[in-house]
Amino acid sequence: QVQLQESGPGLVKPSETLSLACTVSGASISSYYWSWIRQPPGKGLEWIGYGHYNGGTNYNPSLKSRVAISVDTSKNQLSLRLNSVTAADTAVYYCARDLRSYYGSGSYYNWFDLWGQGALVTVSS
């Protein structure tokens, strides 16, 4: 049974860096793509970006200048770093397995079939 577990500080000061880890159990992190998705309190879902063990990443352009996602195969872990945070970054952060189906010449569509339970990060001084 594959499980995802987010971890990291629940409180970050404005202008500092938010760092979260997602530990995957029951599957090799090298076998899939993995995404981070966030949800501000009482609001909808926003895709942040994905990472792959081969170093491949893609980010939401709205966050691209501040975000970094990486995969550590030795720890079977996905990481998220978001710098220069503000109150607008307060949210529940989810990691999710990002399954894909390919078509044509390199195009794909994807879906998030497994999610962690989420980690609430509050940005406040």
Give, for 54, the enclosing helix (H) or strand (E): none
Task: Fill in the DSSP letter of residue 9.
Answer: -
Check binding of 40 to another protein (CB under 8 A).
no
Among 23, 60, 76, 83, binds another protein (CB under 8 A): 60
Contacts of 109 (CB under 8 A, 6+ apart): 100, 101, 103
Among 25, 45, 81, 122, binds another protein (CB under 8 A): 45
Check binding of 109 to another protein (CB under 8 A).
yes
The residue (of 73 and 117) whose beta carbon lies closer to another protein is: 117
Q: Which stretch binds another protein (CB under 8 A): 12-20, 22-30, 81-89, 105-113?
A: 105-113
Check binding of 2 to another protein (CB under 8 A).
no
Task: Fill in the DSSP letter of residue 64.
Answer: T
Check binding of 57 to another protein (CB under 8 A).
no
Burial class (CB in 10 A: 0-12, 13-18, 19+), 51: buried
The residue (of 1 and 74) whose beta carbon lies closer to another protein is: 1
Q: Which of 34, 23, 45, 35 is nearest to 92 (CA)?
A: 45
The residue (of 17 and 117) whose beta carbon lies closer to another protein is: 117
Strand partners, 100: 110
What is the binding site for another protein (CB under 8 A)?
35, 44-47, 58, 60-61, 94, 99, 101, 109-118
